[in-house]
Chains A and B, each alone.
Chain A
Amino acid sequence: MLQYTFRRTLAVLPTIICLIVICFFLMRLAPGGPFTSERPLPPAIMANVLERYGLDQPLHVQLWTYLKNIFFHFDFGPSFSQRDRDVNDIIAAGFPVTLTYGFWSAVFVLALGIPLGIIAALRQNSLWDYIMTGFAIFSQIFPNFVLAPLMVLTFTLAWGLLPGGGWNGGQWEYVIMPAVALGTSYLANVARITRSSLLEVLGAPYIRTARAKGLAERTILWRHALKPTLLPVISYMSPVFVYMITGSVFIDVFFSTGGIGQSFIDAAYTRDYSVILGLAILYSVLTFVLNLGVDLAYAAIDPKVRSGLK
């Protein structure tokens, strides 16, 4: 398995380099640059500014310098829109924020979604099932950009229980609303996927066998049915989790968390090339790591997959 992990890691390097090169050129295709402003800089000042940031160099030289700095110095360059900071600083400041509420959001989704799905499946066509289905539909028609303002109006303005936004070092009262607002629609999906997956597993021949040999229903559920039930949940959650911890742009902007999601949007608007690139790389590395993690989790759960990894 270690060898497998190593092989996968090596294979991803060319992908990331391709991604950098494509992003690098795509961004420069967009009209305007980081220093295009309502007040165009006088030519002499523009020349000084471009020289300082190396933007006066031919594109291939800029790209080469950029790649060299990343691979040899782990330096993702200076930000053009926040002039006192580097991209490394911006990620170091914003990523822990999204990671925190993204993590708690995932915990919220799994800790509630899976049990809900299980109960709905075990009590198929009961009141519980209908409540769960109703909830799933509800959360689909109340996406986070509707839910979040409603939550703020209720918990902040009407009841004064929670702060309406901000982060304040990640105190719990600041984390709750972003985590819940981000997670709700995924929660419903996880519950739905768990429910249908468990129903399918419970109809499988080996469960019938287990029942036939007289195992207790509880043992059947926990020892035999649950693991295969979770496989589709895991593959569903892996891209969702990347999305959660790299920050939903909406959640970051709405709750003013200072998370990394907002930087994506801002950097695109301000043509902050190095920030966009840095975030794109972060995003792809995380996607890779989590996909790998999912594959390894699959192997841990499913013996069939495990033997295929060798």
Chain B
Amino acid sequence: MKTTILAALIGSTMLTAAWAADVPEGTTLAEDQTYTYRVLDEYDSLDPQMLEGVESSTVVRDLFEGLYNMDAKGELVPGVATSHDVSDDNLVYTFHLRDTAKWSDGKPVTANDFVYAWKRAVDPELASPYAWYMELMSIAGAAEIIAGEADKDTLGVKAVDDNTLEVTLSKPLPYFADMVAHATTFPSPSWAIEAHGKEWTRPENIVGNGAYILTEHVPKERLVRERNTRYWDNEHTVLDKVVALVIGDENQALTRYKAGELDKTDIPAGQYPALKDELPDEAYAVPRLCNYYFSFNLSDTGLEAFKDVRVRKALSMAIDRKVIVDAVLKGGQFPAYNFTPEATAGFELPEIDYAGMTQAERDAEALRLMEEAGYGKGGKPLEFAYLYNTSDSHKQIAIVATQMWKQKLGVNATLENQEWKVFLENRGNQNFDMARGAWCGDYNEASTFLDLLASSSGYNDAKYSNDRVDELLTEAKTSHDTTPLYTEIEQIVAEDMPVIPVYHYSVNMMLKPDLKGWPMDNVMQKMYSKDMYKVAE
């Protein structure tokens, strides 16, 4: 048995204060500790095991607490668990739970509540669309249970006693512990679920173990959560009340923010520079773990010309990403020449040859490659359709990119936009020449992006297949030094160019200056209301 570094670190920090709002001494707190923010749409679910949406998991992180939480930098900190041990073969994780954790109805939080929740997540009868997360965590038996081949009680998770949870994996997973900060793994109250069925998440029925309890939920209008006095670390919670308002129109949300109705809202596309000038202390652009790319269709239904790697590379090099980032998006996004965002934890940006060139050099190289392949100016005409889902910013990017191809390479790309689900259906069935793609990391590790390029991935819309990449991805799953592996993958992908990386995201938001503790450095943007506070103005 070995104790992880995390556990060792925690051992000392626990003696001082628990992780909560980090209020510097001498701060005068505001009288009214209410935080109000905008969400785009109604929540898909408030059931930890059922939800898929990013906003839903933000609420659920307040209402429930998992084994571990994340701090302002995105590092793991204790939640219900204080530490864990890992067996020598890296297959068995033993989590030690604090005995002070309580549900909002006063019952103690035990290892059995986790066992119940995890079995629930893979239960075909509940049919959670997020069940794949448990499979991704490599918990023994998860895949078989989901497929209906085994009983849910065979899942590799058991309560050794009330405060000890033992998890068995089917294969070693170096980042397993990082994954237990996700909502799907939060405990759930069996008694409340059995009593109220799917209505158990209503304010009148819900039982949680988080820092807040749900007090009001009007669908498509508002959701209110208030301090849970039974939370084990309640004395360090500062915000008393958190209100989420559903506001579909982002410009309208911005107006209401300016009128003082909101403490946080999103910045509509392209408005960041103007707002930064107008309200410099309130407009923020911070990196976010998402990428944006153009995917070729490399399957049999794809264009013949795209089977030629020179054509693919030429199209990639001819895109001036700086123009897209600085003139179109204008929100502090990052030009991308590789697939994984630089902000990903433990990821070192690999050396990619064309990333180091000037745009003039790239353009010259693009022209040369295109000529060599016999297409474009002076060669065979190259025509294709670029498919994207209907949206203003996607359209602007599409116009700029296709213009660059036309001017620099003499390539004719037509624009084709489709409604979201029609788009997904066509892209998923390789019914396109080139299509827009974007991906946000599920967890803060490069494989959440690179796995998309595995031949077996269900998200590999390009139908890219490279044996060496597959091999390296498999190796990375169990390796403790992934950097050389990921570097090689990125370099192979840059040589093969199955997708054209365009940019990596940033989050653009308005935040009132009296609200403190927003996790700016957490690229997953996982905020916990209990870590924030409002100062007196």
Contact = CB atoms under 8 A, between A and B. Distances in A.
Whether A associates with B in a native complex is yes
A145 to B, nearest CB: 10
A201 B131 CA distance: 70
Contact of A45 (B132, B202, B246, B259): B132
Nearest to B222: A166
Contacts of A271: 421
A82 B43 contact: yes
A157 B258 contact: yes
Given A48-B131, A156-B256, A166 B45 contact: no
Contacts of A258: 218-222, 246
A52 interface: yes
Contacts of A52: 125-127
Interface stretch (A27-35, A63-71, A190-198): A27-35
Given A49-B127, A84-B46, A262 B146 contact: no
Nearest to B202: A84
Contacts of A36: 421, 424-425, 428
A93 B218 contact: yes
Contacts of B255: 149, 152-153, 156-157, 164
A32 B431 CA distance: 13
Interface in A49-105: 49, 51-53, 81-85, 89-90, 93-94, 97
A51 B128 CA distance: 12
A53 B428 CA distance: 23
Given A35-B129, A82-B44, A48 B146 contact: yes
Contacts of A39: 458-459
A84 B45 contact: yes
A27 B42 CA distance: 22
Interface string B234-267: 0000000000011111001001101101000000
A263 B220 contact: yes
A165 B256 contact: yes
Contacts of A42: 132, 135, 146, 458
Contacts of A97: 221
Nearest to A80: B44
Name which of B46, B245, B259 has the most chain A CB atoms within 10 A of its CB: B259
Given A85-B219, A152-B255, A262-B220, A45 B129 contact: yes
B146 to A, nearest CB: 5
Contacts, number: 153
B219 A82 contact: yes
Interface residues of B, number: 54
Contacts of A45: 127-129, 131-132, 146
Interface string A252-282: 0111111100110010011100000000000
A37 interface: yes
Contacts of B45: 82-84
B420 interface: yes
B129 A166 contact: no
A167 to B, nearest CB: 5
A51 B147 CA distance: 13
Given A84-B199, A164-B259, A32 B459 contact: no
Contact of A44 (B50, B146, B246): B146
A213 B187 CA distance: 86
B124 A256 contact: no
Given A44-B148, A164-B252, A83 B421 contact: no
Contact of A256 (B127, B246, B459): B246
A41 interface: yes
Contacts of A153: 255
B193 to A, nearest CB: 11
Interface of B is mostly: loop
Given A49-B129, A83-B47, A84-B201, A93 B146 contact: no
A32 B422 contact: yes
A90 B220 CA distance: 9
Contacts of A166: 221-222, 245, 261
Contacts of B256: 156, 163-165
B430 to A, nearest CB: 13
B221 A257 contact: yes
Nearest to B427: A38
Q: Interface range on chain A: under 10, 10 to 19, 20 to 34, or 35 or more?
A: 35 or more
B89 interface: no
Interface string B116-152: 0000000011111101100100000001001110000
A160 interface: yes
B455 interface: no
B222 A156 contact: no
B421 A30 contact: yes
A167 B249 CA distance: 15
B127 A82 contact: no
B271 to A, nearest CB: 15
A85 B219 CA distance: 10
Contacts of A85: 198, 219
Given A31-B425, A81-B44, A83-B198, A256 B129 contact: no
A308 interface: no
A40 interface: yes
B282 interface: no
B424 A93 contact: no
B300 interface: no
Given A45-B129, A84-B45, A256 B421 contact: no
Contacts of B199: 84
Contact of B245 (A41, A256, A263): A256
B41 A254 contact: no
A31 B131 CA distance: 25
B419 interface: yes
A81 B420 CA distance: 15
A259 to B, nearest CB: 8
A41 B131 CA distance: 9
B118 to A, nearest CB: 16
B483 interface: no
A295 to B, nearest CB: 34
B465 interface: no
Interface string B308-349: 000000000000000000000000000000000000000000
A269 B219 contact: no
Interface string B76-105: 000000000000000000000000000000
30 contacts: A30-B421, A31-B421, A32-B420, A36-B421, A37-B52, A39-B458, A39-B459, A40-B459, A42-B132, A48-B127, A49-B129, A52-B125, A81-B42, A82-B42, A82-B43, A82-B219, A83-B47, A84-B45, A84-B201, A84-B202, A85-B198, A157-B258, A157-B259, A165-B252, A165-B261, A166-B222, A256-B221, A258-B220, A266-B220, A270-B421
Shortest Cβ-Cβ A-B pairs, 4 listed: A32-B421, A258-B221, A52-B127, A48-B127
Given A45-B131, A93-B220, A256-B245, 12 more contacts: A33-B421, A35-B129, A37-B52, A38-B438, A41-B132, A44-B148, A93-B218, A93-B219, A97-B221, A168-B222, A253-B249, A256-B246
